[in-house]
């Protein structure tokens, strides 16, 4: 054989079918990769020898498209350039591989509802939530499935749970729901000259006259003296009233106070550090001058104390008698643009926030 022919046969025969061995190894290392096989896999080298540090076991299983190789990071092309993406109808997933699907809330009835809050003859929880105004039943089912609902302190995620609306304590996102539709809480803008009582033996105008058209038996939460005006809460919910009145749940109250003259700058420090009264020291949570003219000053004061006439006594103690006092806020409940002598029913969010603030 000539040297020219020898070189051709040594090259594997350019233009000819390559011999078994090196030619097949090269084709297996590159050509097979384009058909989904391992690209440059460890077991595809000439003569079947694995690469340094590799093993024949890796060579037989590693590579693009193989489940074990993908987990171990073996082989380039983990994204599978040579294979169509799964789910396009061109290639079915291999055994042991499940197509990823988005998780959806389970809407079916659970086989075993949570017994610690489940009442067999009660009402489905999603229906109770919908009746409380939280949205459609479908939306309420989503709230439950997302773990945002608690019943009697237990987080509920199952849709088959039934509860007793008259007894269950339900919170959504930490906010208490009032499930008893017979209970109502009103915000009243008490006018000046009206006493904070449902009956006055002296015959003075009382807040009872302002809610005479209401069918509920209401009672006031806290009070304002006759000369003061502004926000007052009325309710037939005894539990809420007791919590609001309890010293351990003193709710912040905001007042807009008008006094005579120009108030000195050091008055703010006195209010914030505490003023000594005959029944003890009272400290303001906030003090802010709203407006000031030559003959009067308007100040906003925030207090937790519920003592009788406490705001008037504090200003008298520092030498500035009050000419007008309006309560503008009780906790999260604002007076807003409510006209004097009128009422409004608290909304679900307002009431829930108020109840949560006093531990309900």
**For residues 217 and 199, is the Cβ–Cβ distance under 8 A?**
no
Beta strands 229-235 and 322-330 are parallel
**Dihedral (Cα; 159, 161, 165, 167), 10-degree rounding:** -140
**For residues 360 and 243, is the Cβ–Cβ distance under 8 A?**
yes
225 annotated active-site = yes
**For residues 190 and 147, is the Cβ–Cβ distance under 8 A?**
no
Beta strands 275-277 and 280-282 are antiparallel
Question: Exposed/middle/buried for 214, CB within 10 Å: 0-12, 13-18, 19+?
Answer: middle
Q: Which of 24, 164, 225, 285 is catalytic?
A: 225
**For residues 83 and 39, is the Cβ–Cβ distance under 8 A?**
no
Token digits for 64?
A: 């693009």
Question: Exposed/middle/buried for 308, CB within 10 Å: 0-12, 13-18, 19+?
Answer: exposed
> Residue written as tokens 């539990």?
239
Q: Under DSSP, is residue 42 helix (H, G, I), strand (E, B) or coil?
A: helix
Q: How many CB atoms lie within 10 A of CB 295?
A: 8
**For residues 66 and 77, is the Cβ–Cβ distance under 8 A?**
no
Q: Under DSSP, is residue 162 helix (H, G, I), strand (E, B) or coil?
A: strand
In sequence order, the 6+-apart residues with CB closer than 8 A to the CB of 2 are: none
Beta strands 322-330 and 333-334 are antiparallel
Token digits for 183?
A: 């209970």
Catalytic residues: 225
């Amino acid at each position: 054989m000539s040297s020219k022919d020898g070189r051709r046969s040594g090259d594997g025969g350019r233009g000819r079918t390559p011999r078994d061995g090196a030619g097949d190894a090269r084709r297996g290392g590159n050509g097979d990769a384009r058909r989904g096989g391992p690209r440059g896999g460890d077991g595809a080298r000439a003569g079947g020898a694995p690469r340094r540090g590799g093993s024949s076991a890796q060579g037989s299983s590693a590579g693009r498209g193989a489940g074990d190789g993908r987990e171990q990071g073996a082989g380039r092309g983990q994204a599978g350039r040579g294979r169509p993406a799964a789910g396009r109808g061109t290639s079915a997933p291999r055994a042991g591989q499940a197509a990823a699907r988005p998780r959806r809330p389970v809407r079916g009835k659970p086989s075993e509802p949570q017994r610690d809050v489940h009442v067999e003859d009660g009402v489905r929880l999603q229906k109770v939530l919908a009746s409380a105004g939280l949205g459609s039943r479908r939306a309420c089912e989503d709230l439950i499935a997302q773990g945002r609902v608690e019943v009697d302190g237990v987080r509920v995620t199952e849709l088959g749970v039934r509860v007793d609306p008259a007894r269950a304590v339900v919170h959504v996102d930490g906010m208490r729901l009032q499930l008893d539709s017979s209970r109502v809480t009103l915000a009243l803008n008490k006018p000046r000259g009206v006493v904070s009582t449902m009956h006055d033996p002296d015959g003075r105008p009382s807040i009872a006259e302002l809610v005479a058209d209401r069918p509920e038996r209401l009672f006031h939460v806290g009070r304002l003296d006759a000369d003061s005006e502004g926000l007052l809460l009325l309710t037939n919910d005894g539990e809420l009233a007791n919590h609001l009145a309890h010293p351990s749940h003193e709710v912040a109250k905001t007042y807009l106070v008008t006094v005579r003259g120009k108030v000195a700058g050091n008055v703010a420090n006195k209010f914030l550090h505490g003023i000594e009264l005959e029944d003890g020291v009272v400290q303001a949570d906030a003090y802010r001058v709203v407006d000031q003219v030559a003959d009067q000053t308007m100040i906003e004061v925030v207090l937790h104390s519920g003592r009788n006439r406490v705001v008037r006594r504090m200003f008298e103690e520092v030498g500035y008698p009050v000419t007008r006092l309006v309560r503008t806020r009780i906790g999260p409940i604002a007076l807003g643009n409510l006209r004097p002598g009128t009422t409004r029913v608290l909304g679900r969010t307002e009431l829930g926030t108020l109840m949560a603030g006093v531990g309900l």
